[in-house]
Amino acid sequence: MTQTVTLLGLESSCDDTAAAVVRHIPGETPNILSSVVAGQTQLHADFGGVVPEIAARAHTEKLDHCVEEALIQANVHLSDLDGIAVTAGPGLIGGVVAGVMCAKGLAAGSGLPLIGVNHLAGHALTPRLTDQTKFPYLMLLVSGGHCQFLVVKGADEFRRLGGTIDDAPGEAFDKTAKLLGLAQPGGPAVEAQAKLGDPESFRFPRPLLDRPGCDMSFSGLKTALLRERDRLVAEHGGLRQQDRSDLCAGFQAAVRDVLAEKSRRALVEYLALNPTNPTLAVAGGVAANFEIRGKLETICADSGAAFLAPPLALCTDNAAMIAWAGIEAFRDGHRDDMSLQARPRWPLDNQAPAMLGSGKKGAKA
Ligand code: KG4
Ligand code: ZN
């Protein structure tokens, strides 16, 4: 590893259009020269979820501007780069196609190599960008679109220990907020309400804890909450403020307990094979939740593992993680050409059984 590598990264697999420039000088900490993210929350606000067609159109409109801005902020020209990395899946296919086409155009015009990156690998390799974490480590990816435990053994070597069989936790937070008339994205709104509530007032189920392994389920929680809400509305003629807060607190406690217990089990499985310097790293928007993060920290401390949460801007969707995953792949000799395909599904672990379903933010893996 002798060569300095500077890549432009593009991300458009869900509802954030992003471009970033990352440079890595061997032996030094990777340098994020720029990271531009244009969100689409407002565009989807009226629909209670991401509308794929609206997302794809917005990506097409914004990608060029994000690229231009990322190059300006990084103070580099295309000729200063070693390649273009782009999310080639998994995700909402219209957005992924928009990103791949933009990257192909840039690569064809500049003569630079093209590197297709798996979005999940971008999240999973972020601890190496932020903290130079050494392989192997355990990753919990917990966002609005994804929820899975991954053993990260190498830049292109992952083992999935388990994941959600239906909704992702962020999706459940968003649906809960919608059911209770709170703002989107639901996670921060539900967390704020939960602070005012009593988690013991409503005892929601902890799905799949009675089954061995690390698989999770969150869709039943939302149904249980809907039933409680309807009962309260029928009883009181509306939802009282304290009930709303108690429902949020009860829901958040249930998600927290499921993630904590499944993380404990994932750590046991991980430690049996990798007992030296164990680390559990998290990524994804749900990792911003104070209650959940705190419980995960406790689980790690009890298991003798380090807990690592990258800064939030790099936990949520961004293009710096794509540029970084691209740098790792580039160093391993990976190059793509104009035949690079956008993929709605692209599991990191081909040996693991297929994840079920497709959430509001695209295929699960
Ligand atoms: O990683 P992310 O920005 O985007 C993707 O899902 O790809 O995660 C966004 C998700 C949303 O569902 C949002 O409600 C959730 O993360 N989220 C939270 C919190 N902040 C964001 N969930 C729980 N508590 C939070 N504080
Ligand atoms: Zn993501």
Q: What is the pLDDT of residues 227-276, one digit of tens each?
A: 999 999 999 999 999 999 999 999 999 999 999 999 999 999 999 999 99
Rounded to 5°, the CA angle 111-114-116 comes to 170
Q: Hey, which of 14, 119, 143, 259 would you mutate to test ligand 1's pocket, going by the most ligand atoms within 8 Å of its Cβ?
A: 143
Sequence-distant (6+) residues with CB within 8 A of 227 are none
60-115 pLDDT per residue, tens: 889 999 999 999 999 999 999 999 999 999 998 999 999 999 999 999 999 999 99
Please give the distance, rounded to the nearest whole angstrom, from the Cα atom of residue 238 to the centre of ligand 1. 28
Atom of ligand 1 nearest to the CA of 255: 23
Under DSSP, is residue 228 helix (H, G, I), strand (E, B) or coil? helix
Which pLDDT belongs to residue 41?
76
Residue 191 Cβ < 6 Å to ligand 1: yes
Residue 118 Cβ < 6 Å to ligand 1: no
Residue 144 Cβ < 6 Å to ligand 1: yes
Specify the pTM.
Answer: 0.92
Sequence-distant (6+) residues with CB within 8 A of 111 are none
Residue 288 Cβ < 6 Å to ligand 1: yes
Q: Where are the alpha helices (DSSP H) in 320-365?
A: 320-331
Which pLDDT belongs to residue 363?
57
Which pLDDT belongs to residue 237?
94
Beta-strand pair 147-154/83-89: unpaired
Spans in the chain with pLDDT lower than 50: none
Which pLDDT belongs to residue 80?
98
Residue 362 Cβ < 6 Å to ligand 1: no
Residue 11 Cβ < 6 Å to ligand 1: no
* Distance in angstroms (rounded) separating the CA atoms of residues 293 and 256: 9
Atom of ligand 1 nearest to the CA of 168: 12
Which pLDDT belongs to residue 352?
79
Which pLDDT belongs to residue 355?
64
Residue 173 Cβ < 6 Å to ligand 1: yes
Rounded to 5°, the CA angle 151-120-17 comes to 155
Ligand of minimum distance to the alpha carbon of 186: 1
Residues 161, 31 contacting (CB under 8 angstroms): no
CA 338 to chain centre: 27
Atom of ligand 1 nearest to the CA of 146: 6
Which pLDDT belongs to residue 350?
81
